[in-house]
Amino acid sequence: MAVLLLAEIVAGEISLDQTGKAVTASAALGDITVLCASAGCGDAAKAVATLDGVAKVLCADDAAYGNGLAEPVADLIVSLAGDYDHIVAPATSHAKNILPRVAALLDVMVISDITGIVDADTFERPIFADVSSGRSEVCTLSSTHSDRPEFPAAATVSTDAEPVSPAASKPAVRIETTFLPSDDFTV
């Protein structure tokens, strides 16, 4: 099985602790490809490549991903999703903003705050265990229950990931809102 792991990168800086713990936790799911998506993330991709368990690193170094906006990163992940059985990320506010959008675009359920992986279809959560639907999984991994990563190896870093234009992938949605004056409410 193949795993796409979204690295925790903010303003071009990698959180090796969060990303490394997510790599360690998701190792049971299969070969791990780490996606580094941000402006100026080349050094972050090189650092992630040294984590034990990382088979490949995709470096999407583009200004479109530099402001931490969820939409362009979600579109990028969805464009890559066909090659992966699981899409995971550390359970951080950054990933929890992106992965629900990814899950919605893929029409799958997001499973948040996983504390353990029993097998490829069963995950432990603080509230209940969840069994997958057999489709691609989108998950966030809680780092409090994961071991610190080791750094003995170096994976290959690829810069083949092309930026995806959010405007090109989806039509604009218009939402109209009407407000009632306060004197229209009766008690």
Is there a contact between 159 and 148 (Cβ–Cβ < 8 Å)?
A: no
Q: Which domain holds residue 154?
A: 2-184
How many domains, in total, are found in the chain? 1
First to last CA, the chain: 59
Segment 49-79, tens digit of pLDDT? 999 999 999 999 999 998 889 999 999 999 9
pLDDT of 177 = 47
Provide the CATH number for the domain around residue 30: 3.40.50.620
| pLDDT (average), residues 104-119 | 86
Is there a contact between 93 and 120 (Cβ–Cβ < 8 Å)?
A: no
Segment 87-98, tens digit of pLDDT? 999 989 999 999
